[in-house]
Amino acid sequence: MARILLAEDEPRIAAFISRGLQAHEFTVSATADGQEALNWALFGDYDLLVLDIGLVGIDGFEVLRRLRGGGSDIPVIVLTARDSVADTVAGLESGADDYMAKPFSLDELLARIRLRLRQRPTGSEHGATTTTLSAGDVTVDIRARTASRSGRTVELSAREFSLLEMLVSHAGQVLSREQILSGVWGYDYDPGSNVVEVYVRNLRRKLGDDVIETVRGMGYRLRG
């Protein structure tokens, strides 16, 4: 199970990311303090750092400079509201491996995290994550981003795959619309949207009507 260090000073976003990563079987440690993030990244056993720029104490750029100056090669994804070209260049030149501007969706962050973990040196124990998940006769391959039922490959859009991955990860468990919206569409979702119903209908059409159960008044459940 990969260990993620999250340095984020906005409690709402930190909680959203932590819940989302934990739901996908990552272990998460979070801090809003730049110096603490630097110490943990240098001396803790972490596989990847998700780093905000506007931290308490020293900012994310300084964390990056000191981290690389200290010889650490931990993958770093900079996550910030600063989306100008100058800030992007500054982040990458300071040693970041990737750069994401807020607002963002959890499925994109997960995809970038998995990509960086796969790119870690061969033979290292870091980034050893499960590549396939199964529930009943439904299987999703996280690395290849493919899905199948009873051995038959099913073509899914990126968002459909993210929804199915979430359902398979919690097979047998009822997930509310709010949990699904937050997990798949990100913290900036519209709670009044019917997008969940639309995508559940799409998955039923492609996988079969018997795969996803509607639990009235509660949400949706993948039959295991």
Percentage, residues of the chain above pLDDT 90? 40
Q: How far apart are alpha carbons 68 and 62 in whole angstroms?
A: 10
Residue 5: per-residue pLDDT: 95
* pLDDT higher at 158 or 168: 168
Beta bridge partners of 80: 101
User: What average pLDDT score do residues 21-35 get?
Assistant: 91
Evaluated on CA atoms 55, 61, 62, 66, the torsion sign reads positive
All domains of the chain in start order, with CATH: 3-118 (3.40.50.2300), 132-222 (1.10.10.10)
When pLDDT is cut at 50, 70 and 90, the band that residue 127 belongs to is very low
- Output phi, psi for 109, to 5 deg: -60, -45
Q: How far apart are alpha carbons 180 and 217 in whole angstroms?
A: 15
Residue 115: per-residue pLDDT: 86
* 182: pLDDT strictly greater than 80: no
Q: Which residues contact 84 (CB under 8 A, 6 or more apart)?
A: none
Residue whose C-alpha is closest to residue 64's, from 31, 30, 98: 98
Residue 107: per-residue pLDDT: 86
Evaluated on CA atoms 8, 78, 45, 40, the torsion sign reads negative
Q: What is the DSSP letter of 122?
A: T
Residue 50: per-residue pLDDT: 96
* 125: pLDDT strictly greater than 60: no
Residue whose C-alpha is closest to residue 172's, from 209, 215, 203: 215
Q: Dump pLDDT digits (tens) for 67-93.
A: 888 888 899 998 877 656 566 666 666
Q: Give the Cβ contact number of residue 216 at 10 Å.
A: 5
User: What average pLDDT score do residues 185-205 get?
Assistant: 83
Residue 126: per-residue pLDDT: 42
Residue 166: per-residue pLDDT: 83
Q: Please tell me which of 29-33, 159-163, 179-183, 190-194 the model is most confident about, judged by mean pLDDT.
A: 29-33
Q: What is the DSSP letter of 182?
A: I
